Structure 1
Amino acid sequence: MIDHAHDLESVRGATERLLTAAAKMDNAGVTESSRLPGWSRGHVLAHLSRNADALVNVLRGRPMYPSAETRDADIERDAPRPLDVQLADLRDSAERFQEVGTAPADWSRTVELRNGVTDSASRVPFRRWAEVELHHVDLGIGYELEDLPDEFTRREIDFLTERFRGHPDVPALVIEEDGGRRIPTGGEGEPPLVVSGRRADLLGWLAGRRDGSALTVHGGTLPSLPPL
Structure 2
Amino acid sequence: MMDHARDLASLRDATDRLLSAAAALDNAAVTQPSRLPGWTRGHVLAHLARNADALVNVLEGRPMYVSAEARDADIEKGAPRPLEEQLADLRESADRFARAADAPADWSRTVELRNGVTDAAARVPFRRWAEVALHHVDLGIGHELEDLPREFTERETGFLADRFTGRPDVPATRLTNGTRAWSTGRAADAPEVAVAGRQADLLGWLAGRRDGAALTVQGGALPALPPL
TM-score higher than 0.5: yes
Bigger mean CA offset, 102-111 vs 190-199: 190-199
What is the rounded CA distance, in whole Å, between the counterparts of 1:108 and 1:115 in structure 2? 21
Structure 1 residue 188, shift from structure 2 partner: 2.3
Structure 1 residue 191, shift from structure 2 partner: 4.4
Structure 2 partner of 1:142: 142
Q: Which amino acid aligns with 1:64?
A: M
What is the rounded CA distance, in whole Å, between the counterparts of 2:176 and 2:56 in structure 1? 36
Alpha carbons 1:5, 1:102 under 8 Å: kept = no
Return the TM-score normalized by structure 2: 0.98
What is the rounded CA distance, in whole Å, between the counterparts of 1:66 and 1:45 in structure 2? 20
Q: Secondary structure at the match of 2:30?
A: helix
What is the rounded CA distance, in whole Å, between the counterparts of 1:133 and 1:43 in structure 2? 16
Structure 2 partner of 1:187: 186
Does residue 174 (structure 1) correspond to residue 155 (structure 2)? The answer is no
Q: Secondary structure at the match of 1:217?
A: strand
Alpha carbons 2:107, 2:121 under 8 Å: kept = yes
Distance 1:72 1:48, change over 3 A: same
Structure 2 partner of 1:164: 164
Alpha carbons 2:174, 2:191 under 8 Å: kept = no
Q: Which amino acid aligns with 1:44?
A: V
Does residue 29 (structure 1) correspond to residue 2 (structure 2)? The answer is no
Bigger mean CA offset, 180-189 vs 96-105: 180-189
Q: Secondary structure at the match of 1:85?
A: helix
What is the rounded CA distance, in whole Å, between the counterparts of 2:111 and 2:79 in structure 1? 28
Q: Secondary structure at the match of 1:135?
A: helix
Q: Which amino acid aligns with 2:173?
A: L
Alpha carbons 2:35, 2:139 under 8 Å: kept = yes
Distance 1:112 1:191, change over 3 A: closer
Structure 1 residue 141, shift from structure 2 partner: 0.2
What is the rounded CA distance, in whole Å, between the counterparts of 1:137 and 1:172 in structure 2? 29
Structure 2 partner of 1:19: 19
Does residue 108 (structure 1) correspond to residue 76 (structure 2)? The answer is no
What is the rounded CA distance, in whole Å, between the counterparts of 2:69 and 2:100 in structure 1? 25
What is the rounded CA distance, in whole Å, between the counterparts of 1:5 and 1:73 in structure 2? 32
Q: Secondary structure at the match of 2:2?
A: coil
Q: For structure 1, list consecutive stretches of 5 or more residues without a partner in the other structure.
A: none
Does residue 213 (structure 1) correspond to residue 207 (structure 2)? The answer is no
Bigger mean CA offset, 88-97 vs 162-171: 162-171
Q: Which amino acid aligns with 1:184?
A: S
RMSD value, Cα:
0.7
Q: Which amino acid aligns with 2:140?
A: G
- After TM superposition, the structure 1 = structure 2 runs for residues 24-173 of structure 1, keeping only pairs within 5 Å, are 24-173=24-173
What is the rounded CA distance, in whole Å, between the counterparts of 1:183 and 1:117 in structure 2? 22
Deviations for 1:180-212, whole angstroms, at most 9, x for unmatched residues? 312111102344200000000000000000000
Q: Secondary structure at the match of 2:226?
A: coil
What is the rounded CA distance, in whole Å, between the counterparts of 2:102 and 2:168 in structure 1? 38
Q: Which amino acid aligns with 2:192?
A: P
What is the rounded CA distance, in whole Å, between the counterparts of 1:35 and 1:191 in structure 2? 32
Q: Secondary structure at the match of 2:194?
A: strand
Bigger mean CA offset, 164-173 vs 137-146: 164-173
